[in-house]
Amino acid sequence: MEIGFIGVGQMGFHMARRLLEAGHRVLVFDTRREPLDQLGATGARICGSARAVADESETVMASLPTPEVVFAVATGQIMQGSRVRRFVDLSTTGSVMARRVHEKLNARNIVQIDCPVSGGVTGASKGTLAVMVSGPREEIKAIEPALSVLGRIFLIGEKPGAAQTMKLCNNFLSATAMTATSEAMVMGVKAGLDPRVMLDVINSSTGRNTATEDKFGRVILPRLFNLGFTNGLMTKDLKLCLQEGKALGVPMEVAETVTRMLQIACDEIGADADLTTVVKPVERRAGVEVRG
């Protein structure tokens, strides 16, 4: 397939690379030159703008940081493209924004396919992402050869924004695991427990989760803090989740608490700091560090 790809940051770079390695012809654009040059060296065609990508590709994928950026790019440059006929949004925007983009693109006979992914930089690099897709079934079927390169495809439905709702549910649970595990691990270390023994026990018990099974042992105990996803992006996702819950009339008290913890990490450690640094404000207040 010929695929346009806009936004080659930490996630987008690896997804575009995998498409290239699978034999697809990929046209790329980003506001930063370095990742473009790296992809160009492996066979990607570099375009000078998002509009240029949409002028030359029927299928345009995008992996962008915020809903506002997605809306601006999709309804600005992409919508004006002369060849584009489907827009595949790999970003996390929430269902409200997804429906807004759908309405704008639909007026120009461009198909909107929601396709947020989960699995982090590691999943993007290895092609093991959870690929959540909603949109017209025939259009999804047409791009399955490309999506299958990224990971396992989950068909969520045809309703615009359905896959975005699924992604927000997942990220809420992921962030909850990260923040709750931070408090539990700091409490144990403060009491004198060995953090590696704690992880062994938890992972053999009912408290195990993605943070205990992977993130703490691999990233936090060795003090690497290099998971590859930022406090700011997860805070954005949780705020979208709160908005969606409110719109649906669903109580989100746990999500509100998790969002507050993430915001503290943004304020004290930095929005651009790695998500795993959410443990640091808890450590500071307790006067201990969770180290291997």
Q: Which sequence positions are flagged as catalytic?
A: 167
Are 224 and 217 in contact, with CB atoms under 8 Å apart?
no
- By DSSP bridging, strand 2-6 and strand 45-46 are unpaired
Residues 6+ apart with CB under 8 A from 111: 85, 86, 87, 105, 135, 136, 139
Give percent helix, percent strand, percent coil of the chain, each to the nearest 5: 55, 15, 30
SS3 state at 132: strand
Q: How far apart are CA 7 and CA 92, in angstroms?
A: 13
Cα dihedral 102, 64, 87, 144 sign: negative
Alpha helices by DSSP H, listed for 26-65, are 33-41, 50-56
Closest CA to 80 of 111, 55, 63, 106: 55
C-alpha closest to that of 290 among 220, 209, 210: 220
Residue in the structure block whose two tokens are 């309405």: 103
Spell 119-143 as b/e; 16+ CB within 10 A means b. bbbebbbebebbbbbbbeeebbebb
Three-state secondary structure call for residue 143: helix
